[in-house]
Structure 1
Amino acid sequence: MSRSPLSGALLLLVQWIAVDETAFVETTTMPMAPSLPPWQRIAEEPWAREVILGLAGRFDERAARADIGRLAEASATLARLKTPLNVVAWYFPVEIDPTWAEAQSLAPLLATLPRPLWISVYDSTNVGPDILVQGLMKWLPADVGVFFQDGVGVHAREPRIARHYAAVLSFHLGKDRVRIIAEAFRPQVGGGFRSATIDELRPQLASYAGYHVYLFDGPHYLSDALVGQISAAQAARGIPAR
């Protein structure tokens, strides 16, 4: 996590506080990581005045989907822990896309988790926003919000198309229930990913004006120099970065 605050950023989204049964907070319910994040220091940062706290997940998506019952149970326990953070909402970090036919089995499990609660959604097969939201509306509880992963970083779509997805989701679910995850990376020649440049990010973020936007992800792709460039670009447009 960068110490350099984004201009206007007040909210931090933490992907998870436990992954593959290793906790990054103090707990007696599972093994803890050898070194924990400096939560007290993070809580004092201007960009973490409010925190959406990710709960229990797995690095491997298939493994996570196959173990949603245990992850939900662990998440409910983790959500009761006290931390120095000002937690304003929770995030259940098992990602949803149209290929997951059993996604509806999440509904009763999400009911066991605290509110406000968010999940994340992406469109890996380009079914389009209408089919994507129709699938969600069949089972997603009405009080659970959606982080839409824009797919721009993996070149799945252009920012203007990602905004259209957000607009369709907002129309059906309500704008208060939809936020955008802006992928701050791009494919790297030779394989893997690199940080997006400011010239790549500027039009991406500008396309999402009017929405809450979260850059993914800080530890890997947001250097202090890039954060400064984003801050300047957002400040010039009068748009708070998150």
Structure 2
Amino acid sequence: MSAMTNADAAPPRLIDGIVWQPDNAHADPHGDWDKLGAHELIVQWTAVDGISFVPGTGLRAAARMPDWERIGQEPWARDVIIGLAGRFDEAAARANTAQLFIESMRLADARPPVHVTGYYFPVEIDPTWRDASALRTMLDALPRPLWISVYDRANVGGAALAQWLDQWLPPDVGVLLQDGCGVYAREPHVAREYADQLAAKLGRARVRIIAESFRPKVGGGFRAATVDELKPQIDAYRGYRTYLFDGPHYVSDELVRGLLDAYKRAPLR
């Protein structure tokens, strides 16, 4: 009876995972994200600007190499979507997709010792990128399951975004929708409408949501979102697999505790 009571009192799964953007200052991620339900880690990239965070790629090794063995044993990383080769600068990434494809194929062959559930090609896509459709040949050749991320800088709307993607994106490539809340581009309920419109066109199994867990900081840069800012995003995306961007930078143990307390006061329905 006590075991059943404890199970009944367990918090609901609020999210499915977190995103981790490796850099030299964040090469050793730790957090309580599993307490929110996180079990799948999306690694933003395993090489950035020609510097690799995994060994055996032929690329220059990062100054701090992650402890992949330890990461793979974390409850929030039982499953891992491996990000391939990227650039910190979006314009540079888009201008060098062929080189990133070559590096990505090397990275796919040297994947770290974790339970890999997919791959992510980290060149972010939006409708203002007129040459985005040229990615198709490269995406066709990358390993599966494969994901890309999209956002809507031009505010064309979810239906138009879905139609545009459907014209050129390989039909077995999934879409990680960046919700835009981190830069006040849209409200959570509007981001949910985008997800619904993408799912209607592409299929629900191909659509997941990246909940931006940051906000602009006075004076420049970004800060962590507050509980009151992040909770409406989590609430709005129920029914979709949702990942917080990004865990090590913005989702502290204190924020996790705050979210859990908030849901104790106002449980999900």
Same fold (TM over 0.5): yes
The counterpart of 2:116, out of the listed 84, 87, 108, is 87
- Residue 181 of structure 2 aligns to a residue in which SS? coil
5+ long unaligned stretches in structure 1: none
Cα deviation for residue 2 of structure 1 reads 2.7
* Counterparts of residues 18-97 of structure 1 (less than 5 Å): 18-97=47-126
Q: Could you list the per-position Cα deviations for residues 181-238 of structure 1 after superposition, in whole angstroms to 9, with x for gaps in the alignment? A: 0000111122221110001111111000100000001121111111222345567746
2:32 aligns with 4
Q: Contact 2:211–2:244 at 8 Å: present in 1 too?
A: yes
Partners of 1:138 and 1:161 lie apart in 2 by 23
Q: Could you list the per-position Cα deviations for residues 142-164 of structure 1 after superposition, in whole angstroms to 9, with x for gaps in the alignment? A: 00000000001100000000000
Partners of 2:260 and 2:148 lie apart in 1 by 27
**2:255 is the counterpart of 1:226:** yes
Q: Contact 1:92–1:118 at 8 Å: present in 2 too?
A: yes
Residues 234 and 22 of structure 1: CA distance in aligned 2, closer, same or farther (over 3 Å): farther
Root-mean-square deviation over aligned CA pairs? 1.5
- Residue 63 of structure 1 aligns to a residue in which SS? helix
Residues 43 and 233 of structure 1: CA distance in aligned 2, closer, same or farther (over 3 Å): farther
Q: Contact 1:148–1:181 at 8 Å: present in 2 too?
A: yes
Partners of 2:196 and 2:267 lie apart in 1 by 21
1:118 aligns with 147
Residues 234 and 29 of structure 1: CA distance in aligned 2, closer, same or farther (over 3 Å): farther
The counterpart of 1:190, out of the listed 210, 219, 229, is 219
TM-score (norm 1): 0.94
**2:132 is the counterpart of 1:103:** yes
Q: Which protein shows a greater Rg? A: 2
- Residue 168 of structure 2 aligns to a residue in which SS? coil
Q: Which amino acid aligns with 1:100?
A: W
After the TM superposition, which of the residue ranges 24-33 and 139-148 deviates more from structure 2? 24-33
The counterpart of 2:206, out of the listed 177, 184, 204, is 177
Q: Which amino acid aligns with 1:133?
A: A
TM-score (norm 2): 0.85
The counterpart of 2:158, out of the listed 117, 126, 129, is 129
**How many residues align structurally?**
239
After the TM superposition, which of the residue ranges 203-212 and 3-12 deviates more from structure 2? 3-12
Partners of 1:113 and 1:237 lie apart in 2 by 41
- Residue 153 of structure 1 aligns to a residue in which SS? helix
Q: Which amino acid aligns with 1:5?
A: W
Q: Which amino acid aligns with 1:164?
A: E
Cα deviation for residue 81 of structure 1 reads 1.2
After the TM superposition, which of the residue ranges 100-109 and 26-35 deviates more from structure 2? 26-35
1:14 aligns with 43
Q: Contact 1:104–1:139 at 8 Å: present in 2 too?
A: yes
Q: Contact 1:2–1:224 at 8 Å: present in 2 too?
A: no
Q: Contact 1:6–1:228 at 8 Å: present in 2 too?
A: no
Partners of 1:202 and 1:86 lie apart in 2 by 29
Q: Contact 1:6–1:231 at 8 Å: present in 2 too?
A: no
The counterpart of 1:200, out of the listed 229, 236, 245, is 229
Cα deviation for residue 28 of structure 1 reads 4.2
Q: Which amino acid aligns with 1:2?
A: H
Q: Show structure 1 runs of 4+ deviating over 3 A.
A: 231-239
Residues 162 and 93 of structure 1: CA distance in aligned 2, closer, same or farther (over 3 Å): same
